[in-house]
Amino acid sequence: MQYDLELLEDMITVTLNPKNILLVQPTALEIAEYEQLAQTEKVRIRKRMKSIISKPLKEKYKVKYVHRNQQDIIALKNILLDYLMHIDIKQLEKQACGVLIIQLYKLLFHSLKELLNYIKQYFSSYFNLDEKVPKSYFLRSTYDLQIRGKNIKRELIKRGYDQMVVEVAISPISRLTDSKTPTVTYRQILYIKKLLIALENLKNQSISVSSLPDLLLSMNFNTGNFISYVIADVVDIINALSSQEEKTERLLRWRKEINQVSVKPGVILNPNCVSVKEQLNSWITEEIHYLETKQRLLSVAPVIKDDLLADEEKLHFSVSVNVLSIFVRAAHDSALLLNKRGTLIFKNISKYCRTIQASNLSSESMDKKSHVAERAHKEKAILALQEMIKFVHTY
Q: What is the pLDDT of residues 348-382, one digit of tens each?
A: 888 889 887 777 888 888 888 888 778 888 888 89
Q: DSSP for 262-318?
A: PPPTT--S-TTS--HHHHHHHHHHHHHHHHHHHHHHHHH-TT----SPPGGGSEEES
* Domain membership flag for residue 388: yes
Angle, helices 163-178/211-218, rounded to nearest 10 degrees? 40
Three-class secondary structure of residue 355 per DSSP: strand
CA 297 to CA 303: how far, in whole Å? 10
Between the alpha carbon of residue 128 and those of residues 121, 186, 380, the distances in Å are: 13, 8, 21
Same domain, residue pair 19 and 124: yes
Q: What integer pLDDT is reported at residue 239 of this predicted model?
A: 87
Three-class secondary structure of residue 185 per DSSP: strand
Query: What average pLDDT does range 152-174 have in this prediction?
Result: 90
Taking Cα atoms as reference points, which of 146, 135, 128, 139 lies closest to residue 192? Answer: 146
CA 24 to CA 368: how far, in whole Å? 64
Tens digit of each residue's pLDDT (9 = 90 or more) over 251-263: 999 999 999 989 8
Residues 6+ positions from 54 with CB-CB distance below 8 Å: none
- Residue 68's pLDDT band, with cuts at 50, 70 and 90, is very high
Same domain, residue pair 346 and 298: no
Q: What percent of the chain has pLDDT over 90?
A: 45
C-beta of residue 250 within 8 angstroms of C-beta of residue 296: no
Same domain, residue pair 124 and 134: no
Residues 6+ positions from 110 with CB-CB distance below 8 Å: none
Tens digit of each residue's pLDDT (9 = 90 or more) over 29-52: 999 999 999 999 999 999 999 999
**pLDDT, greater one: 156 or 297:** 156
CA 349 to CA 367: how far, in whole Å? 11
Average pLDDT over all residues of the chain: 87
C-beta of residue 346 within 8 angstroms of C-beta of residue 235: no
Same domain, residue pair 289 and 247: yes
Q: What percent of the chain has pLDDT over 70?
A: 92
* Domain membership flag for residue 105: yes
* Torsion over CA: 151, 154, 159, 163 (sign): positive
Residue type, 158: K
- Residue 159 predicted with pLDDT over 90: no
Same domain, residue pair 295 and 319: no
Same domain, residue pair 167 and 239: no
Q: DSSP for 213-278?
A: HHHHHHTT---HHHHHHHHHHHHHHHHT--SHHHHHHHHHHHHHHHHHSPPPTT--S-TTS--HHH
Which structural domain range is residue 254 located in? 211-303
* Domain membership flag for residue 233: yes
Same domain, residue pair 365 and 282: no
Q: What integer pLDDT is reported at residue 305 of this predicted model?
A: 47
CA 46 to CA 66: how far, in whole Å? 11
C-beta of residue 309 within 8 angstroms of C-beta of residue 352: yes
Tens digit of each residue's pLDDT (9 = 90 or more) over 88-138: 666 666 666 778 888 999 999 999 999 999 999 999 999 999 999 999 999
Question: How many domains does the chain fold into?
Answer: 4
Query: What average pLDDT does range 215-223 have in this prediction?
Result: 93
* Domain membership flag for residue 339: yes
Q: What integer pLDDT is reported at residue 19 of this predicted model?
A: 86
- Beta strand segments in 150-189, E: none
What number of helices (H) and strands (E) belong to the chain?
17, 2
C-beta of residue 270 within 8 angstroms of C-beta of residue 222: yes
Torsions phi, psi for 316 (to 5 deg): -105, 115
* Domain membership flag for residue 1: no
Query: What average pLDDT does range 43-66 have in this prediction?
Result: 95
* Domain membership flag for residue 54: yes
* Domain membership flag for residue 69: yes
Query: How far is C-alpha 149 from the chain's CA centre?
Result: 17
Same domain, residue pair 144 and 121: no
- Residue 85 predicted with pLDDT over 70: yes
Last residue of a domain, one of 128, 163, 182: 128
Q: Are strands 315-317 and 353-355 parallel, antiparallel or unpaired?
A: parallel
Same domain, residue pair 200 and 106: no
Same domain, residue pair 134 and 123: no
Taking Cα atoms as reference points, which of 370, 291, 313, 359 lies closest to residue 337? Answer: 370
Tens digit of each residue's pLDDT (9 = 90 or more) over 300-345: 654 444 456 777 788 888 888 888 999 999 988 888 888 878 788 8
Three-class secondary structure of residue 133 per DSSP: coil
Q: What integer pLDDT is reported at residue 340 of this predicted model?
A: 78
Same domain, residue pair 201 and 216: no
Last residue of a domain, one of 159, 186, 207: 207
Same domain, residue pair 83 and 109: yes
Q: What integer pLDDT is reported at residue 75 of this predicted model?
A: 96
Last residue of a domain, one of 128, 160, 175: 128
- Residue 24 predicted with pLDDT over 90: no
- Residue 177 predicted with pLDDT over 50: yes
Query: How far is C-alpha 293 from the chain's CA centre?
Result: 38
CA 380 to CA 116: how far, in whole Å? 31
DSSP 8-state class, residue 334: T
